[in-house]
Amino acid sequence: MLTTNPFETLDGDKLREECGIFGIWGADNAAGFVALGLHALQHRGQEAAGITSYDGAHFHSHRAMGHVAGNFDRDDVMRKLPGRAAIGHVRYSTTGETALRNVQPLYAELNDGGFAVGHNGNLSNAMKLRRTLNRRGSIFQSTSDTEVIIHLVATSQAASPTDRLIDALKQVEGAYSLVVLTEQGLIACRDPLGIRPLVMGKLGEATIFASETVALDVIGASFIRDLDPGELVIVNGSGLRSFRPFEKASARPCIFEHVYFSRPDSIVDGTSVYEVRKNIGAELSREAPVQVDLVVPVPDSGVPAAIGYSQESGIPFELGIIRSHYVGRTFIQPSQEVRHLGVKLKHNANSALIRGKSIVLIDDSIVRGTTSVKIVQMMRDAGAREVHMRIASPPTKYSCFYGVDTPERAKLLAAQMSIEAMRDYINADSLAFISIDGLYRALGQDRDPNAPQRCDACFTGDYPTRLTDLAESDPDASLALVAAR
């Protein structure tokens, strides 16, 4: 069993991050568009934000802790980010030191000029590469896995800047969607398995890349297409070129983007997140029906699945829990104590509705179980007669090493307990999760167990890449991971 986080660095800052990225080429006041795009991607990371622009002669950068609004709605800041090209990043790193030096875009002066990069994902061999680079004399400025890419580019012997980036990316394992700003153009790239999303859009003459389509919507840009897994696109004054430099692999886009991470109004890998979540609710109702008075979502993430559950079962949908929108995501709190407080701050029972009723609560996932324990108790305190719980994803049994924040395995409730023990722990009258096959059906796919079409490692332990750092830092943990499957 995994009890330590192999990605924790010496100063306690985890390399694992949740992030959103945005890049634009060919628009006046490019940084202004990036600020708006990042605002629409704020749900992907709320700890810090940064923008780097290029004005044809110089790079300009502003990186700050905190939200996009408050940092990038200020004239004095935006005036310092001139140019017709810019990239940006929102970041959430889990715990430990929250240092400004890790806030992206990261920037370096390389042989061919400035190089700024924003990364969504996580490299599973970053520590190993870093050790090798360190031995060869690289001096790292941050504890971020993304900086490894910069050093690999800097030390590559390939002929052109693009070839040096490709050379670097051929050495990394794991998940990466990237936006890279150089003097030669804006580059966007998706890892060979396409684990994290990345879309391309257009606004007038300008080309845009973003983690999700909502970031195109917010500036009125039109969606062109998803970047293909393993595709690298360069846009500059000579137009747009697409490359597929990596060995072809079967795509494995992250299934959790659909379950929780992406905004419901985004289209991810060609599918509406909202529709998928409603389908999950309908599947869940067929797989795990229950006779109750009301279907109640845990807001906001449980809402679309609850609508689907209600429509399929014919049981009325009601807002039995009201969420305050002035508190951040429960999960994203520095300590267990604050996380508990966060849940109380965030949700309140609609007691007048709940009293005397039997209800089924719908949430997207159970991670540590903190939310479920509190919410079930809240419903009982509000006078609910029966409280059943249905979860719109399979049990989360494995940590993510590809850029979605999940705690170490030891803290994942489903890794520690049977479903019956979990039911008892959260004090629900019944508890059921959607099956992995049901989840794929909601996405319109038949899961092929021998070649799954998605990365579903958080539910199955079937990691689609090598986990070199994990295997090297803790061989027992990596063996246990395989054995536990």
Known binding positions:
254, 301, 363-364, 400, 455, 458
Question: Out of 2, 9, 16, 19, which one is annotated catalytic?
Answer: 19
Site membership for ligand AMP, residue 333 (CB under 6 A):
no
Strands, E assignment, 267-417? 267-268, 271-272, 294-297, 321-323, 347-349, 358-363, 386-391
State the number of binding residues for ligand AMP (CB under 6 A): 20
The one-letter amino acid at 430: S
Per rule CB under 6 A, is residue 367 in the interface with ligand AMP?
yes
Give the dihedral sign, CA 328/329/330/334.
negative
Cα dihedral sign, 125-131-135-136: positive
Phi, psi of 122 (to 5 degrees): -155, 135
User: Does residue 19 carry a catalytic annotation?
Assistant: yes
Binding site feature residues for [4Fe-4S] cluster: 254, 400, 455, 458
* Residues placed in the known binding site for Mg(2+): 301, 363-364
- For residue 363, state whether it binds ligand AMP (rule: CB under 6 A): yes
What is the nearest approach in angstroms of ligand AMP to the Cβ of residue 259? 8
- Nearer Cβ to ligand AMP (52/365): 365
**Segment interacting with ligand AMP (CB under 6 A) among 23-31, 126-134, 159-167, 369-377:** 369-377
| Of 188 and 432, CB closest to ligand AMP | 432
Separation CA 379–CA 349 (nearest Å):
6
Enumerate the β-bridge partners of residue 391. 363, 433
Which one of 369, 383, 408, 473 is in contact with ligand AMP (CB under 6 A)? 369
Q: How far is the CB of 138 from ligand AMP (least distance, A)?
A: 31
Query: With CB under 6 A as the contact rule, which of the stretches 97-105, 241-249, 329-337, 347-355 interacts with ligand AMP?
Result: 329-337
Pick 298 or 455: Cβ nearer ligand AMP: 298
Minimum distance between the CB of residue 126 and ligand AMP, rounded to whole angstroms?
20
CA distance 273 to 63: 30
Per DSSP, the residues of 435-460 read: -HHHHHHHTT----TTS-SSB-HHHH
From the list 285, 406, 460, 468, which residue makes contact with ligand AMP (rule: CB under 6 A)? 406
Nearer to ligand AMP, 53 or 460 (CB): 460
DSSP H/E element including 195: none
Determine, following the binding rule CB under 6 A, whether residue 365 of this chain makes contact with ligand AMP. yes
Task: Name every residue whose Cβ is closer than 8 Å to that of residue 102 and which is 6 or more positions away in sequence.
Answer: 13, 48, 91, 93, 142, 143, 144
Task: Rank residues 30 and 366 by Cβ distance to ligand AMP and give the closer one.
Answer: 366
CB 415 within 8 A of CB 1: yes
Indicate which single residue of 49, 288, 387, 404 sits in contact with ligand AMP (rule: CB under 6 A): 404
Pairing of strands 294-297, 358-363: parallel
Site for ligand AMP in 260-299 (CB under 6 A): 260, 298
Shortest distance in whole angstroms from residue 484 CB to ligand AMP:
20
- Residue 21 in contact with residue 207, Cβ under 8 Å? no
Q: Which letter, b or e, does each residue of 169-192 get, where b requires 16 or more Cβ atoms within 10 Å of its Cβ?
A: beebbbbbbbbbbbbbbbbbbbbb
3-state secondary structure of 32: helix
**Cα–Cα distance measured from residue 443 to residue 319, given in angstroms and rounded to the nearest whole number:** 26
CB of 481 to ligand AMP, least distance (A): 19
Cβ-defined contacts of 75-78 (< 8 Å, 24+): 78/29, 78/31, 78/32, 78/35
329 touches ligand AMP by CB under 6 A: yes
Choices 205-213, 239-247, 273-281, 368-376 (CB under 6 A): range interacting with ligand AMP: 368-376
Nearer to ligand AMP, 13 or 363 (CB): 363
SS3 at position 18: strand
331/463 with CB nearer ligand AMP? 331
Binding piece for ligand AMP, criterion CB under 6 A, among 216-224, 268-276, 326-334, 444-452 = 326-334
- The site for ligand AMP (CB under 6 A) is made up of 260, 298, 301, 329-332, 363-372, 404-406
Query: Which amino acids are annotated catalytic?
Result: 19
